[in-house]
Amino acid sequence: MNTQAHPSPQFFMTAPATCPYLPGQVERKVFTHLVGQRAPEMNDILTQGGFRRSQNIAYRPACESCRACVSVRILVDQFQPTDSMKRVLRKNHDLVAKEYAAEPSTEQFTLFRKYLDSRHQTGGMSDMSVLDYAMMVEDTHVNTRVIEYRIREEGDGVQLRPGGRLIATALTDIMSDGLSMVYSFYDPDEESRSLGTWMILDHVNRARARGLPHVYLGYWVDGSRKMTYKTRFRPQEHLLSQGWTLFEPPADHPDP
């Protein structure tokens, strides 16, 4: 397939495949390549239009009979952590975060494999090798960063690279209007820390510090238990047929 940059992006459609989120459903995706000098600009436009990035591909669901996948973004300026989120912040006061260029490491891959083997033993990513991981991180034509989260050790904050144990990592795109969380993973042995929540809260703070209005969380799938956590980070907008719309949960909708 030709992946050369074109003045206008060319879009393609995947073959039908089993939906990973809803039983009995079939998914298809429309996708294009993010290559060339216009890749950052196109990534911004497509992400704002409901696409997600994976390596040098931008994709979005194009299912014939289902519209359950909804793009979600947090409104950074209005966001305030809940009491439970404040407890997560306090619990992780001993962590130090550092942002780097999109370069993989053996330490990251070891943590990544541990996360997959614990949380995602089946699925498209379950058999990813070290080369696959390197491609996931490095194969980008946009402004992508790796954020490492480590347990603070004496001297961290003075050294160029913190020396504490790596317990979480986020792959993040920096766009003109926000941060897009491409993929994140963490040590499953540290479940009590709620590191998934911690990383989202950290991204809200990073976006606020950069003066960016949004944190993009990818897709929320109503009816998928693994996606319910995303609706906790409010106020947030969902991309509906009429455009980005403030999410208003039903009165009987409990926080997950």
Residue 218's region, left for phi above 0, alpha for psi from -120 to 50, else beta, is left
DSSP assignment letter at 141: S
Q: Is the model's pLDDT at 7 over the cut of 90?
A: no
- The tally of CA atoms less than 13 A away on the side-chain side of residue 174 is 16
* Domain regions of the chain by residue span: 12-69, 80-210
Q: Is the model's pLDDT at 256 over the cut of 50?
A: no
More confident: 66 or 187: 187
| DSSP reduced 3-state for 14 | coil
pLDDT in tens, 168-186: 999 999 999 999 999 999 9
- CB proximity list for 170: less than 8 A, separation 6 or greater: 146, 147, 149, 181, 183, 184, 199, 202, 203
The predicted model gives 22-34 an average pLDDT of 93
Q: How many C-beta neighbours within 10 Å does residue 211 have?
A: 8
Asked if the 80-210 domain carries CATH number 3.30.70, the reply is: no
Q: Which two tokens stand for residue 87?
A: 């407890």
The predicted model gives 216-238 an average pLDDT of 92
CA 5 to chain centre: 25
Percent of the chain residues topping a pLDDT of 90: 77
pLDDT in tens, 102-133: 999 999 999 999 999 987 665 667 789 999 99
Percent of the chain residues topping a pLDDT of 70: 91
Mean pLDDT of the chain: 91
In whole angstroms, give the CA distance from residue 54 to residue 38: 17
In whole angstroms, give the CA distance from residue 23 to residue 143: 36
Length of the chain: 256
Q: Binning pLDDT at 50, 70 and 90, where does residue 241 land?
A: very high
Q: What pLDDT score was predicted for residue 126? A: 74
Cβ burial 183-195 (10 Å sphere, 16+ → b, else e): bbbbbeebeebbb
Q: Is the model's pLDDT at 252 over the cut of 60?
A: no
